[in-house]
Amino acid sequence: MTANALLQMVAYFVFLVALAVPLGGYMARVYTHEAGVAQRGLGAVERCLYRLCGIRADEEMTWKRYAFSVLLFNAVGILAVYGLQRLQHFLPLNPVGLGAVSPEVSFNTAVSFASNTNWQAYAGETTLSYLTQMIGLTVQNFVSAATGMAVLVALIRGWTRRTTEGLGSFWVDLTRSTLYILLPLSLVLAIALVSQGVVQTLDPQATVSLLDPWATDAGEIITEQTIARGPAASQVAIKQLGTNGGGFYNVNSAHPLENPTPLSNFLQLLSILLIPAALCFTFGTLVKDKRQGWAIFAAMMLIFVPMTVLTVVAEQSGTPLLSSLGLHENMEGKEVRFGIVNSALWATATTAASNGSVNAMHDSFTPLGGMIPMVLMQLGEIVFGGVGSGLYGMLIYAIMAVFIAGLMVGRTPEYLGKKIEAFEMKMASLVILLPASAVLLGTAIACVLPAGTAPLGNPGIHGFSEILYAFSSGANNNGSAFGGLTVNGTFYSIGIGLCMLVGRYWVIIPVLAIAGSLAKKKTIPISVGTLPTHTPLFVLLLVATIILVGALTFIPALALGPVVEHLTLSNR
């Protein structure tokens, strides 16, 4: 690895920590209603929203009522986005005159954005009107992120409260996440991105003349270039901050008008991990033991940093094919302004977080460079993960880790003063097993059906990797893709759509069930027999649990895809 590669990575981690720590503290104050200046400024808007909606700010919901609110609100969102796409040709703000989106792609996109996956079965600039992008996708970018944060806060209340049924109000958590955290951050980031050249206009596409007219194979002379534009910056800002990842343009943040400079790239890269990283510190503050937050953060970094280094090295090494032609780095599908380092760093960050935006085409990565993003998704999107969803997933693994430790010494496991018993373990197993089953079953079905293999963009082993990547991405709510696979057909639209539903809502329900069960319990005092959960020992135990579960589940599938591809390429 070059010195500059190291410098860019170190700068990234330093800025990330420097911003995440204070933001984490601020977010904790948002959820405990102590958000000072922001609350004085926006408090009137918040109260007005509650009055108009008939919401009681002090309502305490049981876990079932909380879960039902989440599902109901998300169902409304799915229906709205579906309807918008089907009717966009009758609606305003459609300057290019795009037609209705097909039913299956509409279903897929609606689920995709409500579940914070942002899988792209559509091609932004050629499928969706400005109105659909604005009030369909941008809105879901906000509320799906806020949903994740709300569920996380409810889970944390399971530990901070005792002998109660109440987990707080979903409506209040949702509103406060949006109003005090996501909106102000997005506004600042959007303007910063525009200053770098990200477009933000309601005008239709621009037409310019070519300096060197282009003759097509058919002999036609092309003299003009049509440049798609639109209100991109506002959507790109929340797409990164909310770990959504759905691009304004087809090629997402590889597009020069979506990510024009190294600085815009750095800002977007920071925003991808900012809130998920900061939530670790929010967690520490809320449970009144900041060391717990640092321990979780350390476990995430311990997985993330080596993965990043591996991807950078793999891409800088290229492939034997490239070497045989005298070429040394793998620049296929990458942009010159980002180069290898920023493309590889982005690929790991976007798949560690359940972001899924891309600034280079993962399908054209080297076999091992493309495997790391796949692994990060298959671990369940918990290394930072989605906003909220990453940390609640990680806390489920923490429960798993204390359970394993408890088995080893023969004590009832406990985490943060609450006993972990059979009910919690059953629910935790569901959280881990359901998305993993969706990945493996989906891949298996796609491999044996013609409808699954016909849309492949690459033949042979790499085709299998495309399928495995697609289901790993969908069921773990990431949204990035090996883009060669054509996914707007019925099979993948519906199949990935169902995986996204499983990966999101069948995880949220057990997580809230755990929250409800924990909140009802008494807090047990710390004794000599208590396993401390802020020590390096626990961090290593947690990392080992994650790697073990991930490896046991996915090594066979990975061996059939990227591993075999790497071996065949090097022995050619």
The residues in 26-65 that bind other proteins, with binding defined as CB under 8 A, are 49, 52-55, 65
- Do residues 366 and 465 lie in contact, with contact meaning Cβ atoms separated by under 8 Å? no
Q: Which of 159, 249, 195, 553 is nearest to 378 (CA)?
A: 553
Q: How many residues bind other proteins (CB under 8 A)?
A: 128
- Shortest Å, Cβ 493 to other proteins: 19
> Residue 256, interface with other proteins (CB under 8 A)?
yes
- Shortest Å, Cβ 245 to other proteins: 15
Task: Select from 102-110, 337-345, 433-441, 501-509 the region that touches other proteins (CB under 8 A).
Answer: 337-345
Of 51 and 89, nearer to other proteins (C-beta) is: 51
User: Binding pattern to other proteins, positions 496-535, x when CB under 8 A?
Assistant: ----------------------------------------
> Residue 271, interface with other proteins (CB under 8 A)?
no
SS3 state at 227 = strand
The residue from 361, 402, 514, 546 that contacts other proteins (CB under 8 A) is 361
Of 249 and 538, nearer to other proteins (C-beta) is: 249
Of 205 and 530, nearer to other proteins (C-beta) is: 205
- The enclosing H or E element of 548 equals helix 536-558
User: Binding pattern to other proteins, positions 132-161, x when CB under 8 A?
Assistant: --xxx-xx-xxx------------------
Task: Select from 160-168, 332-340, 430-438, 545-553 the region that touches other proteins (CB under 8 A).
Answer: 332-340
- Do residues 452 and 486 lie in contact, with contact meaning Cβ atoms separated by under 8 Å? no
Task: Select from 110-118, 149-157, 352-360, 438-446 the region that touches other proteins (CB under 8 A).
Answer: 352-360
- Shortest Å, Cβ 33 to other proteins: 18
> Residue 541, interface with other proteins (CB under 8 A)?
no
CA 93 from centroid of its chain's CA atoms? 29
Contacts of 372 (CB under 8 A, 6+ apart): 307, 310, 311, 314, 347, 348, 351
Of 429 and 458, nearer to other proteins (C-beta) is: 458
Per-residue burial over 523-559, b = 16 or more CB atoms within 10 Å of its CB, e = otherwise? beeeeeeebebbeeebbebbbebbeebbeebbeebbe
- Shortest Å, Cβ 393 to other proteins: 25
Q: Which of residues 181-240 bind other proteins (CB under 8 A)?
A: 183, 186-187, 190-191, 194-203, 205-212, 214, 216, 222, 225-229, 231, 233-235, 237-238
- Do residues 154 and 283 lie in contact, with contact meaning Cβ atoms separated by under 8 Å? no
> Residue 321, interface with other proteins (CB under 8 A)?
yes
Q: Which of residues 473-492 bind other proteins (CB under 8 A)?
A: 482-484
Report the distance separating Cα 523 and Cα 161, nearest Å: 8
Residue with tokens 């036609």: 220
The residue from 25, 43, 95, 333 that contacts other proteins (CB under 8 A) is 333
* One-character DSSP codes across 401-466: HHHHHHHHHTS--EETTEE--HHHHHHHHHHHHHHHHHHHHHHHHHHHSHHHHTT-SS-HHHHHHH
Of 334 and 504, nearer to other proteins (C-beta) is: 334
- Shortest Å, Cβ 85 to other proteins: 14
> Residue 387, interface with other proteins (CB under 8 A)?
no
Structure tokens at 58: 């002090």
The residue from 243, 348, 350, 364 that contacts other proteins (CB under 8 A) is 364
> Residue 15, interface with other proteins (CB under 8 A)?
no
Contacts of 42 (CB under 8 A, 6+ apart): 179, 180
Report the distance separating Cα 441 and Cα 474, nearest Å: 12
Q: Which of residues 59-98 bind other proteins (CB under 8 A)?
A: 65, 68-69, 72-73, 76-77, 80
The residue from 298, 313, 322, 404 that contacts other proteins (CB under 8 A) is 322
- Phi, psi torsion values for 408, nearest 5 degrees: -70, -35
Q: Which of 369, 349, 368 is nearest to 359 (CA)?
A: 349
Amino acid at residue number 517:
S
Q: Residue 375: is it exposed, middle or buried by C-beta count within 10 angstroms (0-12/13-18/19+)?
A: buried
- Shortest Å, Cβ 121 to other proteins: 15
Of 79 and 305, nearer to other proteins (C-beta) is: 79
Structure tokens at 65: 């009522």
> Residue 470, interface with other proteins (CB under 8 A)?
no
- Do residues 239 and 246 lie in contact, with contact meaning Cβ atoms separated by under 8 Å? yes
Task: Select from 20-28, 120-128, 157-165, 523-531 the region that touches other proteins (CB under 8 A).
Answer: 120-128
Question: What's the sign of the alpha-carbon dihedral 30, 31, 34, 40?
Answer: positive
Task: Assign 3-class secondary structure to 487-515.
Answer: CCCHHHHHHHHHHHHHHHHHHHHHHHHHH
